[in-house]
């Protein structure tokens, strides 16, 4: 099963878009293919290059933090 629209912005994948090479595909574990529009592909390029999921078939993938966020901000030290 392929997605008829980008799951991130709902842009329709038209026959003209199918003929081009601008959309990126994400292959799911259930053998389905999720197509992501060029704009969202560029916006999510860091996730693609990190081999993280960009989107599910119906919504964006959950954010994956690189490290835990501190509970309080670290005070700035004056320049020496």
pLDDT of residue 79: 66
CA distance 71 to 5: 39
pLDDT of residue 71: 64
Which residues in the chain show pLDDT less than 50?
A: none
pLDDT of residue 64: 53
CA distance 31 to 43: 25
For the chain, give the percent of residues with pLDDT over 90.
0
DSSP bridge pairs for 26: 34
* pTM of model > 0.75: no
Q: 64 is written with which tokens?
A: 């994956």
């Amino acid at each position: 099963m392929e997605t008829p629209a980008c799951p991130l912005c709902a842009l329709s994948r038209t026959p003209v878009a199918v003929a081009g090479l601008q959309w990126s595909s994400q292959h799911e574990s259930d053998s389905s293919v999720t197509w992501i529009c060029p704009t969202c592909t560029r916006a999510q390029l860091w996730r693609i290059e990190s081999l993280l999921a960009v989107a599910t078939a119906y919504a964006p993938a959950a954010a994956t933090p690189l490290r835990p966020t501190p509970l309080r901000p670290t005070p700035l030290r004056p320049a020496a």
